[in-house]
Amino acid sequence: MNGPHDLGGQMGFGPVAPETAEPVFHADWERRALGVTLATGAFGAWTIDESRHARESLHPATYYSASYYEIWIRALEVLLERHGFVSTDERAAGRAIWPGVKPKRVLNAADVPGVLARGGPCDRRVEAAPKFRAGDRVRTINEHPAGHTRLPRYARGRTGTVEAVREGFVFPDTNAHGKGENPQHVYTVVFDGREIWGQGADPLLTVSIDAWESYLERV
């Protein structure tokens, strides 16, 4: 979707100013926000793609005024309510009122290191041979879906070159909406800076993205 998160190439937001020696957490509540997000994600009720879409779907005024972990918590509220774990009146009251849905599993403190070490691999076997190979010229599709997509807005309808063929991975556009994993081959595609940013771009600049197969068409 064309949400507030998709900022590549947009002007008016000022320079990127990384913090020197930035701490992992700026406040204790951020540490707790990460823990709560991981613990509820372990319920097994939603996928990483659905959680990303929940963040992207926040209203722009909310998204742009919120800090990183505040965005996580606001999206988590949406997911917990959507899947029946809490209700609107419970969030307002700050306490449980209704029984709510029981999670498929609960992440115990002793299991956290092992769970984090395993991660959530999204690579999958794809039976079909890759449609493209390194060196092929390709063009990204120019689509603006209402749902989740991992194709950046700035890279749509652009022509580039396949640099590498990757493994098969879960297709986030369907997985975010409960329509199946539908794994596809993924390709690293390189674009000339001027193809992306126009004639005023640095001629030595290149931009690389990882693109699922259905995002690409042969030139």
Q: Give exposure, 116-148, as e/b (b: 16+ Cβ within 10 Å).
A: eeeeeebeeebeeebbbeeebebbbeeeeeeeb
Query: Cβ atoms within 10 A of the Cβ of 101, count?
Result: 13
Residue 103 pLDDT > 90:
yes
Contact partners, residue 167, CB within 8 Å, separation at least 6: 123, 124, 126, 185, 186
pLDDT tens for 148-184 read: 999 999 999 999 999 999 999 999 999 999 999 999 9
Domain assignment present for residue 46? The answer is yes
| Count of the separate structural domains present in the chain | 2
Look at residue 143 in the predicted model and tell me its pLDDT. 95
Look at residue 9 in the predicted model and tell me its pLDDT. 81
pLDDT band, residue 16 (cuts 50/70/90): confident
Residue 111 pLDDT > 90:
yes
Domain region containing 40: 28-118
For residues 82 and 128, state if they share a domain: no
For residues 92 and 148, state if they share a domain: no
pLDDT tens for 190-212 read: 999 999 999 999 989 999 999 99
Domain assignment present for residue 17? The answer is no
Mean pLDDT of the chain: 95
Q: What is the spatial distance between Cα 39 and Cα 116, in angstroms, rounded to a whole number?
A: 11
For residues 57 and 81, state if they share a domain: yes
